[in-house]
Structure 1
Amino acid sequence: MPIATFHISEALLTAESSARILEQASAIYAQELDSPVERTRVFINRYQAGAVAVGGQVCSVSGSPAAFFEFIVLEGRPFEQRTRIAERFTTLLSDVLAVDAAAIRGRCSQVKPEDWFIAGAPASEIRKREVEARQQEKAHG
């Protein structure tokens, strides 16, 4: 389920910084959600400075940095956990892009398990099967 998207002015990005963001965000997300990293999906959307405005001014003119992230969690994740993810994503972008954290914005979306699909099946069903399998392992192991 862990999906994160970073929206960043391409002037702030290099191949190395993009790789660091993708790899470190994947690790942060997996760690905070206690989920296998293989389940994470992290994307970077790049924007030309002339296609982004911060504070009402086009970034190609103002030179203002533009960085925004979005991440999705299943409904029911604790507020503290969602906050830690947002804090760590903010710190990651601030450090990697050399941008003041105050300039970074983010958003968490919560999705009902029956509205999230993995391989075409609702997460609610997959979660139910995983819980049943763990219970069977405990009973037989």
Structure 2
Amino acid sequence: MPVANIHVLAGHPRPVLKQLLREASAAFARAIEAPPERLQVWITEVDPELYAIAGEPADEVLQRMPRGQAEIPLIRMALMEGRSTEMLHRVMADLSEVVARVLGGDPRRVRVQIDHIHPDRWAIGGVPASRARAAELAARAASQATA
């Protein structure tokens, strides 16, 4: 269920964005202690003409300022309720570092928003996560008991 959407200004080279997907996905999985196959990360590119930095269109700001000093990447995550504050702080710090390093910016410019989702308000294949996860955890426990 864990998902992350990284919003950046359009114009980064595709290989850089693909590397960001790889590294952000790995950091995300480590930080929240989740199997990588359970999470999704995607990038949304925003047109610099339709993005304001300090009240000015970003395409104009980028003409006089390096991208790494101007851009403010935004990471929005949806996570099931129940993770510790320490874990949330770790994922915010780790993903900020990865985004800044891969894109060549300052981690202090990265913004992170975590939306907590109650398991009854998220569906997996049309089944509330509260039910789907309970069945999955029971199956995993049974499998470990027989192993």
Provide TM-score, normalisation by structure 2.
0.87
The worse-fitting range, judged by mean Cα deviation, of 71-80 and 59-68 is 59-68
Identity of aligned residues (%): 26
Question: Do the aligned partners of residues 60 and 130 (structure 1) sit closer, same or farther apart at CA in structure 2, a change above 3 Å counting?
Answer: same
Kindly provide the CA deviation profile for residues 105-136 of structure 1, in whole angstroms up to 9, marking residues without a partner as x: 11011000111111221111111112222332
User: Aligned residue for 2:5?
Assistant: 5
1:109 pairs with 2:108:
no
| Counterpart Cα distance in 1 of 2:40 and 2:24 | 9
1:47 pairs with 2:53:
no
User: Aligned residue for 2:18?
Assistant: 19
Residue type at the aligned position of 2:138: E
| Counterpart Cα distance in 1 of 2:144 and 2:42 | 37
Counterpart of 1:98 (choices 72, 97, 104) is 104
The worse-fitting range, judged by mean Cα deviation, of 47-56 and 127-136 is 127-136
2:31 and 2:94 in contact (8 A); partners too: no
The Cα of 1:138 is off from its aligned counterpart by 4.6
Structure 1: tracts of 5 or more residues without a match: none
| Counterpart Cα distance in 2 of 1:55 and 1:77 | 34
| Counterpart Cα distance in 2 of 1:87 and 1:75 | 19
Q: Give me the CA root mean square deviation.
A: 1.5
User: Aligned residue for 1:76?
Assistant: 82
Q: Where has structure 1 moved over 3 Å in runs of 4 or more?
A: 137-141
User: Aligned residue for 2:127?
Assistant: 121
Aligned length: 140
User: Aligned residue for 2:136?
Assistant: 130
